Structure 1
Amino acid sequence: MDELIVGTYEGFLLGYSIRTEDKNMKLKQTFATHSHTASVRCISIGGKFLASGGTDDKVVVIDLKTRQEHTVLMNHDGTINSVAFTHNGTHLLTGSDDGSIIITRTGNWQIEKIWKKAHGGQPVTAIAVHPSDKLALSIGGDKTLRTWNLIKGRPAFTINLASKGVLLPTEIKFSPGGDRFSLVSQQTVDVWTISKAGVEKRITCTSKPTTVQWLTDERLYIGLENGNIITLTVSDTKALTYPAHKQRVKSLHYENELLYSASSAGEIKVWSVDESKLVEINSCNAACRVTCVSLNRQNHLVKKEDNSDIEDEEEKAASEENNEESDDAEEITVPVKRKPGAFVTISYGDEVKDENDEDNKPPPKKKFKKRKRNKKPKSQKKAD
């Protein structure tokens, strides 16, 4: 059982459990919080934590076990446009209108790195973390695409998007394998290849593209301003079009052969994906204007329904039987695996440095003084 997390323009965070009953899928609301005083712009899930950023300059962290506010990060002085946990869940990257990117360690929530002028002082629009956690990509108001080395904690590459014909980029997402990523701009979606360091395919849409969701390293779905969803592979010349919503598609998410879509009118739909075909399974209305969605895939963090008394009694009886059997058994201690302390532990290749960036300046070399040894006088040596 998965749980869909929805951010809204009204500042709410909503949860919907996804259950299968009598071969029918149903969406039922599990929780609702109003931690933000303004619109929620972005959300991300890492381990048991849900992070959301909004136009109130706050990053709210919610514990998905207790469904309560865990902490609030007030490190930015502008709208939070992007929040992204690393895939191992050890760090949270946040980008803001104040022009900075901040890396915060989860757990103690201490800042480990700040790039104050990540995009020349212009707003940071979006951040995407590579599946390997070795690097991150960001786009901003300076019309550049920047690569950040998450091992050494410094910038690596900068690409001028205007020279590539990309204007006003709004979203960036990696494919599951990480060799490709999509870049959404005004009327096009560009597919980039990291190994070739350039644009592999440009997709021109009939309506303004709003969001992209990769299914595989080859196939992707694109949500449009007119409410349609189109799908194609990187090698396809024509796309299939599905009339999904009456208003613009705000967000897409794919998991376990299911595609979740949400419109600006608050309509949420679940689709089954059979090869390239979309079949609507169920839908509901959040009664709010949806801005973003994510999926909580951890079953133990999904709150159960209050009317599931039969299931609770069965689980209780099973646990009692297990306790009786374990009374005579010996206790076995299992060592707990620790998460890596650094950003990542994988080596990174050669990088192009920005000489004007203070983060790239090497630290000053330390001078060490030679220690003088006290020599004994010759007369003392003879006496010895």
Structure 2
Amino acid sequence: MGEVEVVAGSYEQIVFGYRVCPSEEEWRIEPVFTHHAHTASLSAVAASEQFIATGSKDETVQLYDMNTRTEHGALLHHSGTVSCLEFYGTSHLLSGGEDGLLCVWSTKTWDCLKTIKAHMGHVTSLSVHPSGKLALSVGTDKKLRTWNLIDGRSAFVKNIKQDAQLVLWSPVGDKYVVVMHDKLDIYSLESASITGTLTYQKRISSIKFLKNTLLAVAGDDEYVKVYDLLSEKCICEFRAHENRVKAMDSFLIDELCVLVTASNDGFIKLWKFNLEVNFIALPHRCYRTVYLVLDWPSCSPD
């Protein structure tokens, strides 16, 4: 099992890093770094094996080297807020911003290899296919775009009639989901058409695949819901925080799926999921354990 660290960005311009220390009895968490990365609030965080990249309203992408625990420089190419970041493996970083640009960076030289005018409005979200050959982006121009990352060209454009806030490939890459306010559309890669739609009770703020057919969804309330995408039903829900859930991520540790949630209540929580449980036979019962609760600097409301 590799070492797991949780990285969180705040409105207070600071990035926090913590090491997760599992044990049979009680899990611990150890602070490993605090980095005042920006001159404005953070808007995006991404991590690879070596680097952390953070985007901000100060129009920069700041890099932090996890091996040396030192600043590694800044990427200055966007005009306006850097809204989304994603690494692909150890070789590339993708960034999107309010300027409508999608940029592809080399993690070896940190040169900007491609600058693509992706959207007429803001780029709100991007996701790289597991193969590394395709990427999806959505923006405030009511378009969903598929990009060929080999040649940096648009492969497909779909009008979606609404501004989308989130887009995400499934772990296998045979489907992807697009979020528009409180609605989530499920697309098939093969047909590029909608195969299902989910509606949440509030605006959706974060989504995360737990496995290829299980999707965790959180919004502007205290709850997390897990949906089975085959039946399109909520198979698990629980109150995760005292305030809205702002962000989610997950990782596997000793074949255990751990969901990480962060909230405006100032806490980060880790939840255990047994993915082998037949959730469909036990609707709305969620097998979970709070391994630890981390009190971090409170977020300001946005």
Question: What whole-Å deviation, never above 9, does each CA across 1:106-141 have from its counterpart, x for those lacking one?
Answer: 1211111111x3112x11111111110001000011
Between the aligned partners of 2:230 and 2:86, the Cα distance in structure 1 is: 29
Question: What whole-Å deviation, never above 9, does each CA across 1:58-106 have from its counterpart, x for those lacking one?
Answer: 100111011111110111111000111112x211111111111111111
Give identity over the alignment, percent. Answer: 31
Give the match for residue 28 of structure 1.
30
Between the aligned partners of 1:249 and 1:38, the Cα distance in structure 2 is: 22
Letter in 1 for 2:249: H
- Per-residue deviation, 1:288: 3.1
The question of 1:247 aligning with 2:247 is answered no
Question: What whole-Å deviation, never above 9, does each CA across 1:249-278 have from its counterpart, x for those lacking one?
Answer: 111111111111111222100111023533
The question of 1:217 aligning with 2:219 is answered no
Give the match for residue 283 of structure 1.
293
- Per-residue deviation, 1:237: 4.6
- How many residues of Structure 1 are paired with residues of Structure 2 in the alignment? 284
Bigger Cα Rg: 1
Give the match for residue 149 of structure 1.
148
- Determine which structure has greater relative contact order: mean sequence separation of CA pairs < 8 Å that are 6+ residues apart, divided by chain length: 1
Between the aligned partners of 1:105 and 1:111, the Cα distance in structure 2 is: 7
> As a proportion of its length, which structure holds more strand?
2
In structure 1, stretches of 5+ residues that fail to align are 292-384
- Per-residue deviation, 1:12: 0.6
Between the aligned partners of 1:86 and 1:30, the Cα distance in structure 2 is: 24
The question of 1:233 aligning with 2:233 is answered no
Give the match for residue 283 of structure 2.
none
Give the match for residue 102 of structure 2.
101
Question: What whole-Å deviation, never above 9, does each CA across 1:311-343 have from its counterpart, x for those lacking one?
Answer: xxxxxxxxxxxxxxxxxxxxxxxxxxxxxxxxx
The question of 1:171 aligning with 2:166 is answered yes
- Per-residue deviation, 1:47: 3.0
Distance 1:237 1:90, change over 3 A: closer
Give the match for residue 90 of structure 1.
91
8 Å CA contact 1:42, 1:53 repeated in 2: yes
Between the aligned partners of 1:195 and 1:272, the Cα distance in structure 2 is: 33
Between the aligned partners of 2:211 and 2:169, the Cα distance in structure 1 is: 10
TM norm structure 2:
0.90
In structure 2, stretches of 5+ residues that fail to align are 280-285
8 Å CA contact 2:197, 2:232 repeated in 1: no
TM norm structure 1:
0.71
Moved more, 275-284 or 62-71: 275-284
Determine which of 51, 65, 86 is the counterpart of 2:53: 51
Letter in 2 for 1:154: R
Give the match for residue 208 of structure 1.
203
Between the aligned partners of 1:83 and 1:290, the Cα distance in structure 2 is: 22
8 Å CA contact 1:9, 1:39 repeated in 2: yes
Letter in 1 for 2:184: V
Between the aligned partners of 1:43 and 1:35, the Cα distance in structure 2 is: 11
The question of 1:262 aligning with 2:262 is answered yes
Question: What whole-Å deviation, never above 9, does each CA across 1:330-373 have from its counterpart, x for those lacking one?
Answer: xxxxxxxxxxxxxxxxxxxxxxxxxxxxxxxxxxxxxxxxxxxx
